Structure 1
Amino acid sequence: MQVFGSSGTRGVANEELTPAFALRVARAVGTVREESRFAVGRDTRLTGRMLENAVASGLAAVGADVDRLGVVPTPGVQAYAADEGVPAVMVTASHNPAAYNGLKLVGPDGVELPVEALERIEEALLGEAFEAVAWDRTGTDRAVDGANRRYVELVLESVERERIADAELTVALDPGHGAGALTSPDVYRELGCRVVTVNAQPDGHFPGRDPEPVPENLDALGRLVRASDADVGIAHDGDGDRAVFYDERGEPIDGSASFAALAAAEVEAGDTVVSAVNVSQRLVDVCEAANAELDLTPIGSTRIMTRIGQLEAEGERVPIAGEGNGGVIFPGYRISRDGAYIGARFLELLADGAAASDVVAPYDDYANVRVNAEYDGEAEREALLAAAEAYADAATADDGAGLTTIDGHRLDYGDAWVLARPSGTEPVVRVYAEARTEARAGELADDLAAALRAAIE
């Protein structure tokens, strides 16, 4: 797909992602979809209302009515879509910096549209095959109040509320000035937790930190955990569909470790777990211990959600899925990422008195390394990819490594793995590696990256 990538379409607002472009996307969506009513929501970004107006106009121009939800987390928009049976457009750039914005497309089941549906919309967009309606058939729009409250109540009724309340936990929360600031404090307080916050004022400038919930942006959360003697720290991205954690010492928990801990509590023999090709060995270990299958997809939440739907249609049970970036999916709840719900499910792991550090300790003994091999032009890109293929062929023949090629080349060595895949946004081939020690991971990554670079020197 040229327009819709692993999670919608994004760009610098008013430069790459303009109101004119958003209007064209909305016209394509309204033309391809059969529904006559849509919901539109946005996160806290300064350009959100501008782009929401363009989306609403584009939908109305092809005859669709629009429910305007205002500032709502992405999972709140998805919950509204599923409850009302209407598709939705979410205006968000998720974890990208403040200058960015984007569009996510959601079906009437509350799930991001699968790849094949996005391809049809993209074809209409690129071909400008838009439906045009007469002036007296254009759609109307209305402001809808209460979407955030409906979402909060959904999360509350979907977790073990009394068990969490009985634990009398203290939660340090950093919603990063995003849409989750309007909902997550209420969720955790109404679960009976003492809640202390930082960066909890909705603000599209993101003054306290960048929206991406990675350790380099979360020093304030670590300090808050320590100062408040909290049991756990929880942080969201800009649209509130991810949750990452800090332990009771104010130390970051690797997203793959928290994913593995959540999975270990869910997975049974015969289940299938879905994750991306850069999946951590931690999750591999959990699946092997439970005698469950691990199904890998290309990187990106859209690919993962599409695969969950396919497997469930085939009769497979998929209790958990996602990526190690805080984007965990519990299909029994909904096939979508939901930061507040993920956080509440982690609180369930603490409800019997275990410390957060103890909960993830069995899955915290791997080291990760990532390096980039840069290229200039298509010829160098192809040379790097050819070198990755040759390296993988040699590793499988000489070292007995397992090879996965659904998105780049991933080599599994049992105790470690390394992956080379082209970036979808930058002129680099990324090399990821994971092992029990940083030295081993670094050796794998550096060796593969050196082979790639040698191909263009």
Structure 2
Amino acid sequence: MTTLVSNKVIGGSGIQFGTSGARGLVVDFTPEVCAAFSLAFLRVVQQSSSVERMALAIDNRPSSPEMAAHCAALLQQQGIAVDYYGVVPTPALAYAAMQQKVPAIMVTGSHIPFDRNGLKFYRPEGEITKQDELAMLSQAAEFSWPLPPVSLAVSGYAASAYQQRYLQWFAADLAKNLRVGVYEHSSAGRDIYAPLLQQFGATVIALGRSDSFVPIDTEAVSAEDEARARQWAKQHQLDMIFSTDGDGDRPLVADEKGQWFRGDILCLLAAKALGVEALAVPVSCNTAIEGCGAFSQVTRTKIGSPYVIAGFEQLTNYRKVAGFEANGGFLLASDLQAAERLLKALPTRDALLPFLAIVQLAQGKPLSLLLNELPQRFTASDRITNFATEKSKALLVDAQANIDGFAARLQLNSPVVSVDTTDGLRLILENADIVHLRPSGNAPELRCYAESDSNEKARSLVQHVLCCVSSLA
């Protein structure tokens, strides 16, 4: 038996906090590293409250069950009881933990490839902050090694509580007479969605279930998934298609034609449907949010749910506050009340709420018609994979030092009139087009976001810029 120290184990692991949780290669998430992160989190939470229990859940990645076992073994060694919920969406775990007022750990890498994974941490009141992350990294907490093996029994509470959240808010006939395709792939919520939609009256067609992990990125939908959606919509005469990323906190929704909604547009419509008064959203989101005139205040933040949550602090004068990200993850900061119905706040990314909200907004009409109500601004995004973060940062530092020269090398079709460095480099052009470059916070990727007055222009602009950047690198 030896003694290990949490910050030394974490510091030598190569695992880092990204925009949302600790992420890295599976091979770097050794048993010792999982234990060290779990202990560091426990100690940080214990600084402000006593902890007797902790909730734990996983996604469908092949590495997740073993990582969860190591986290649980450390907690049990420390005298903490573990409520294990098995494979459920991240927001289901977060909601269950908030209702029971316990901290939680989610083992998930979200949308990143299966050779990577991650840990996401929740205090009893919601996601940890960036300050909490720093506190965890500095914890010099000792633990005995090796840890004894554990056996985890799965509780169904988180899945049930998550479903009940929506059943008690939306009308029982919300999806009556609708044909809904559920693209299941390897989503952590794939066994929850169909039964829930059926309770709302929908006819559900299960699509694309996979026994291997599928890294769905809702901000960069593959050409294959675009073609699949069109084929499925036509073949099954669907009114809409619903899916999520791997851990079920980012939605992917297609209309009756099989056209995928952009995440920020989906959430903009959802926020209108829910009567939200004020929003916190990342700088990368579509400017139609301000342009639609539906919200009293819109606060722009850095990219990542911790920054959106921090943005809620500027909106305390409003009763109905929410936030969302360009990836479609919707965060509800306020409890909503309507007659006898209550929708409790869930200030972490959620995929189900924005989808159900636009079903309510459409009132049986084609989803595609909802877009006609908004300013005609279109966004697109893609990324260069296997592009080292250090390389991305160096590129943007050089670009900021000579904006005009960088714009010339990108061969942009309009002069740059303003620059936003809130997160990465966002160039606003004279013709109102927008180009935004930013290193991913979760993987070695350089992301590009673009906005224009047509979908074709936005997509073309993204591909053009990424092609130019590749040639520069």
TM-score after normalising by structure 1: 0.82
Residue range with higher mean Cα deviation, 317-326 or 359-368: 359-368
Aligned twin of 1:385? 397
The Cα of 1:300 is off from its aligned counterpart by 1.4
| Contact 2:19/2:442, CA 8 A, preserved across alignment | no
Aligned twin of 1:62? 78
What percent identity do the matched residue pairs reach? Answer: 25
Residue range with higher mean Cα deviation, 72-81 or 415-424: 415-424
Aligned twin of 1:112? 127
Structure 2 residue corresponding to 1:407, chosen from 392, 401, 423: 423
Aligned twin of 1:11? 24
Aligned twin of 1:311? 314
Q: Spell out, residue by residue over 1:8-52, the C-alpha distance to the aligned partner (whole angstroms, 9 max, x if none).
A: 122232x12222211111111122221231011111222221111
Structure 1 residues 267 and 400: alpha-carbon distance in aligned structure 2, compared to 1, 3 A threshold: farther
How does 1:30-429 map onto structure 2 within 5 Å?
Answer: 30-34=42-46, 35-109=51-125, 111-124=126-139, 129-132=140-143, 143-162=154-173, 164-165=174-175, 167-200=176-209, 203=211, 205-206=212-213, 209-213=214-218, 214-218=221-225, 219-266=227-274, 271-286=277-292, 289-290=293-294, 292-308=296-312, 310-312=313-315, 314-317=316-319, 319-332=321-334, 333-351=345-363, 353-363=364-374, 365-368=377-380, 381-382=393-394, 384-391=396-403, 401-413=417-429, 415-424=432-441
Q: Spell out, residue by residue over 1:352-389, the C-alpha distance to the aligned partner (whole angstroms, 9 max, x if none).
A: x3211111234465253657699889699446413224
Structure 1 residues 191 and 385: alpha-carbon distance in aligned structure 2, compared to 1, 3 A threshold: same
Structure 2 residue corresponding to 1:29, chosen from 41, 49, 67: 41
Structure 1 residues 249 and 443: alpha-carbon distance in aligned structure 2, compared to 1, 3 A threshold: closer
Counterparts of 1:377 and 1:103, CA distance in 2 = 20
Aligned partner of residue 380 in structure 2, secondary structure: strand
Aligned partner of residue 259 in structure 2, secondary structure: coil
Counterparts of 2:444 and 2:87, CA distance in 1 = 34
Q: Spell out, residue by residue over 1:328-371, the C-alpha distance to the aligned partner (whole angstroms, 9 max, x if none).
A: 223333112222222211211222x3211111234465253657
Counterparts of 2:296 and 2:405, CA distance in 1 = 28
Counterparts of 1:114 and 1:247, CA distance in 2 = 35
Aligned partner of residue 354 in structure 1, secondary structure: coil
Counterparts of 1:368 and 1:147, CA distance in 2 = 34
Over aligned residues, Cα RMSD in angstroms? 3.6
Q: Spell out, residue by residue over 1:252-276, the C-alpha distance to the aligned partner (whole angstroms, 9 max, x if none).
A: 22323322322343456xx331111
Aligned partner of residue 161 in structure 1, secondary structure: coil
Structure 1 residues 375 and 366: alpha-carbon distance in aligned structure 2, compared to 1, 3 A threshold: closer
The Cα of 1:282 is off from its aligned counterpart by 2.5
Counterparts of 1:108 and 1:25, CA distance in 2 = 17
Where structure 2 has 5 or more consecutive residues not aligned to the other structure, the ranges are 1-10, 335-344, 408-413
TM-score after normalising by structure 2: 0.80
Residue range with higher mean Cα deviation, 177-186 or 401-410: 401-410
Q: Spell out, residue by residue over 1:61-103, the C-alpha distance to the aligned partner (whole angstroms, 9 max, x if none).
A: 3332211111221111112101111000011111123333211
Counterparts of 1:442 and 1:259, CA distance in 2 = 24
Where structure 1 has 5 or more consecutive residues not aligned to the other structure, the ranges are none
| Contact 1:56/1:66, CA 8 A, preserved across alignment | yes
Counterparts of 2:91 and 2:386, CA distance in 1 = 36
| Contact 1:106/1:113, CA 8 A, preserved across alignment | yes
Structure 1 residues 175 and 123: alpha-carbon distance in aligned structure 2, compared to 1, 3 A threshold: farther
- Amino acid across the alignment from 2:21: G
The Cα of 1:251 is off from its aligned counterpart by 2.4
Aligned partner of residue 94 in structure 1, secondary structure: coil
- Amino acid across the alignment from 2:249: D
Aligned partner of residue 179 in structure 1, secondary structure: coil
